A and B are shown apart, each in its own frame.
Chain A
Amino acid sequence: EAQVTQNPRYLITVTGKKLTVTCSQNMNHEYMSWYRQDPGLGLRQIYYSMNVEVTDKGDVPEGYKVSRKEKRNFPLILESPSPNQTSLYFCASSWTGDDGYTFGSGTRLTVV
């Protein structure tokens, strides 16, 4: 089944404790992106990647890191999480970007 897999689905952590949210797609997509969803704000792009080793900042990159060492994986790293990073996070992938993204199931992150 073609899909984008994110893990974990739920995570509660403490301020300052490094964490990684994994994302993997099995569709050989070139484009991958991370979004965060907050009430009243819709979804906002954090980082994106257009291919292996090619990544760049989106609209809200502060406090996040990403890497794209393999085509299928695009992990999101929070080096020192803070409470304002409590949010619902989505990974998404696409062939060309303009064909519409396939989204993962989301990761609900709570930083206390």
Chain B
Amino acid sequence: AQTVTQSQPEMSVQEAETVTLSCTYDTSESNYYLFWYKQPPSRQMILVIRQEAYKQQNATENRFSVNFQKAAKSFSLKISDSQLGDTAMYFCAFMKLKGGVTGGGNKLTFGTGTQLKVEL
């Protein structure tokens, strides 16, 4: 079974600064996907970024980028130029590649989350 670990329950950052949220995972699969989701106080789950494990290039989406270290099973999220609207709970999630071991309907396995607060 896959596990996802987010070791930082809470973090804070000053507006306009850069912050990195850590995520590690444990799997025996070689092909999989990794995701970061954002959950603001509205509680809506919003997809931030997606990484395919077979791609070495780190994914980026505007101010959000990841540092994907496959050998270390690490998938950290970097937020540049932090904004007040980035205040949210951030979840790291893992998904086995479709066509691999079946079961779970392409289930997302989530970490326990990191609460990020952006301060003035």
Contact = CB atoms under 8 A, between A and B. Distances in A.
A79 B44 CA distance: 26
B106 interface: yes
Contacts, number: 69
Contacts of B103: 56
A85 B93 CA distance: 23
Interface residues of A, number: 29
Interface of B is mostly: loop
Interface stretch (B13-21, B78-86, B108-116): B108-116
B107 interface: yes
A96 B57 CA distance: 22
Interface stretch (A11-19, A20-28, A97-105): A97-105
Interface of A: 31, 33, 35, 40-45, 48-50, 56, 58-59, 88, 90, 92, 94, 96-103, 105-106
Interface of B: 4, 33, 35, 37, 42-47, 50, 91, 95, 97-98, 103-108, 110-113
